[in-house]
Chains A and B, each alone.
Chain A
Amino acid sequence: MKRYPSALAAIATAAAVALAGCSSPATAPADPSGPVTLTVSAWNLESTPEFRALFDAFEAVHPNVTIQPVEILAEDYPEKVATMLAGGDTTDVLTMKNVTDYARYASRGQLLDLTDLVGELPTDKMAGLEPFDIGGKYAAVPYRQDFWLLYYNKKLFDAAGLPHPDQLTWAQYGELAKKLTSGTTADGQKVYGTYHHTWRSVVQAIAAAQTGGDQLGGDYGFMKSQYELALDLQRSGAALDYGTARTQQVNYRSMFETGQTAMLPMGTWYIASIKAAIASGKSSVDWGVAPMPQLAPGAGTTTFGSPTAFAVNEKAKNAEVAKEFVRFAAGEQGAKAIAAIGVVPAFRSDAVTAAFTALPSDELSKKAFTEDKKIVLEMPVSETTSDVDTILTEEHSLIMTGEKPVDDGLREAGDRVKNEVR
């Protein structure tokens, strides 16, 4: 059986197509105030509370609407939605988990054109809209925009007598990490200056964002200095080495929450879960966030991140209500609803920041969160994105385990991207 997983998937797809083809889409009732059941595709509702928060807020404003989530396993989400759409599914609102899949659905004409809707929105206050622009048209509107910043453990900084990491350069960050590496936690675990998670984005995406390098281009010299920093930190023992982190499947959350690392570059999605860990008594970490370190001082903050968006199915049963939902989620009301549970909304305003109570109240954390910054898309969108991603991930592990010198690894990554990806 295992030998033919693809065939099985194909048959499942074929069956889904055949079955879905039998059901004829019903036309929507015209009355906007009548009772409406709006269907929204979503993943892992239990562990993704933003959906429930948005649904509840929307239903409170529109009492005639009942939202019925179409729950899908997060790992299968892109394939499942693709299959649904191919079969003529009529789910109204489709959540765009990443921009690559969005581009695929949009290019097949499976999403409703929302350009007019975007025109009515206060786009100057919305982050993460740019990646959804396809030739001046939009078929999805972001409601959530995560970006990367530097988490730090205030207690460890104060104990070492060091100032909190405001607007660091990478060189300063490296020195700080070495100074902060000392002693052990209460459980006898070594305390590292920083922790780099095993994802390639920790090195590659930040290098691309800050140098303007192209991750799809096949010319990866721009990643070199970031790799040298990461390797130097793990060689000197200021960061847990990649091999251990990978083989032990180290959890970055427990590294930070148990005080095993003084710093942690990570995305904003982590804010809500630190808050939850502290609230439940699992962690007592005294934490703050700072802007991502930069290449050169005084040039503003550049970091990377990725937006999450809502789109309307081209075959939606309730297209008008669906559009209203997208508008609501992308606007201030939706933003406040998800900010309240510690999820970073795409819409920015003082009221939204005030609703974001999960953030520590110190000035540096506030600045890191609200300052004007450039957020570069984590990975550019193209037909080749996923193949290039695989290659970059493989070469990342070779460089980080010391199996290949930086130059060789980057050269091989480039050669493979140029020769094998089409």
Chain B
Amino acid sequence: MVISTEPAVPAMRTRRPPAPATRARRRTLRSILTGWSFILPNFLGFALLTLVPMVFGLALSFMDWSPWTDEPEWVGLENFERMFRNSTFWIALGNTVYYAVGHIPLTMAVALGLALLLNRSLAGLGFFRTAFFLPYVTSLVAVAVVWNMLFNPTSGPINQFLLALGVDDPPGWTSSTAWAMPAVIVASVWRDMGYYMVLFLAGLQTIPTELYEAAKVDGANAWQRFWNITLPGLRPTTFFVLIMCTVASFKIFDLIVVMTDGGPGRATIVLSQLIYLQGIQEGRFGFASAISLVLFVLVAGFTVLQFQLQRRREAR
């Protein structure tokens, strides 16, 4: 881009020199174009593989289209009417929220707790940090299969342990409608905690140790130091973790499919899974797009809300 404009410049110079304002504008334009050319490769990929399909998906949610119909047909709000009448959609929506409400605070609390524990000098620190991070890099299918074995209602170690503790009627876990979702949440917290722990650890490193020393001198106890130094110091990290964790929770798919496949009955079916079932297995592209639009609005809404809360808190 720079090269192509070069010859034009001397030609211009023979005429009247441009007014300073025009020159400044040209320079700004030029730097904008340079900037654009740098992000162009990335943007092309994003546009082609994410933006266009997203816009297309948005349009599809107002159409009826399947592998068995020739052309997408405009049906207005029919897909949405059908969705609101579909009991599975409401159950999936409820389950998605249930999962998110259980998963987000638990994961964050456990991850923060681990990060605090592992942020001190401790024998075998590297070992423990690796150990807690391992679940995150382990194959998800293996994780789900092992958790299913642990949760086995009759011979699984968890229920054996509960029986030994004197619990007469231990939960049926993944074979019970009431306990299937808690079981999935436990497994997912265990899997994700290592990842967010690393983020929190990084956040803890940025808090200056002088603050703690000063607080100690002033006589603050451990709890006061945590509450008044650590938590405020971690705020940017916490916010980032919260956003990532929220988005990931609403999009949960893989763990549920492998662990319970939405069952028993519809006790753990979630929105992404319903989108997959309707869109890929049943070939209802329009209907599935309508559900994905709802999921998108849900995730976007929560994210925007959290951003605004954060901004308000910072303004205070």
Contacts and interface: CB of A to CB of B under 8 A. Distances in A.
Interface stretch (A48-56, A79-87, A251-259, A352-360): A79-87
A13 interface: yes
A398 B175 contact: no
Interface stretch (A163-171, A242-250, A269-277, A315-323): A242-250
A10 B295 contact: no
Contact of A397 (B87, B251, B263, B284): B263
B235 interface: no
B68 A6 contact: no
Contacts, number: 127
B264 A403 contact: yes
Interface in A1-25: 1-11, 13
Contact of A386 (B282, B285, B296): B282
A401 interface: yes
Contact of A403 (B85, B149, B176): B176
Contacts of A398: 177, 264-265
B251 A9 contact: no
A1 B49 CA distance: 9
A362 interface: no
Interface residues of A, number: 38
Contacts of A1: 49-50
B279 interface: yes
Contact of B275 (A6, A10, A83, A243): A6
Given A4-B54, A242-B175, A401-B264, A9 B68 contact: no
Interface stretch (B150-158, B191-199, B210-218): B150-158
A7 B152 contact: no
A372 interface: no
B292 interface: yes
B67 A244 contact: no
B68 A82 contact: yes
Most buried by A among B54, B87, B175, B299: B175
B53 A416 contact: no
B53 A11 contact: yes
Interface-centre pick from B60, B68, B153, B173 (highest chain A CB count, 10 A) = B68
B172 A83 contact: no
Nearest to B287: A6
Given A13-B67, A397-B264, A6 B175 contact: no
Contacts of A420: 85-88
A5 B265 contact: no
Given A3-B251, A246-B263, A9 B279 contact: yes
B292 A9 contact: no
Given A398-B177, A420-B86, A79 B283 contact: yes
B94 interface: no
A8 B60 CA distance: 11
A401 B65 CA distance: 37
Interface string A37-75: 000000000000000000000000000000000000000
B53 A7 contact: yes
Contacts of A416: 87
B285 A248 contact: no
A104 interface: yes
A243 B175 contact: yes
A249 B141 CA distance: 12
Interface in B236-280: 251, 253, 262-266, 272, 275-280
A86 B70 CA distance: 7
Nearest to A75: B281
Given A244-B153, A401-B172, A5 B275 contact: yes
B226 interface: no
Contact of B289 (A7, A86, A390, A404): A7
7 contacts: A4-B292, A7-B292, A10-B60, A86-B70, A387-B282, A394-B262, A401-B172
5 A-B pairs with the lowest CB-CB distances in the bound complex, closest first: A243-B175, A6-B279, A7-B57, A6-B288, A82-B67
Interface of A: 1-11, 13, 79, 82-83, 86, 104, 108, 241-244, 246-249, 386-387, 390, 394-395, 397-398, 401, 403-404, 416, 420
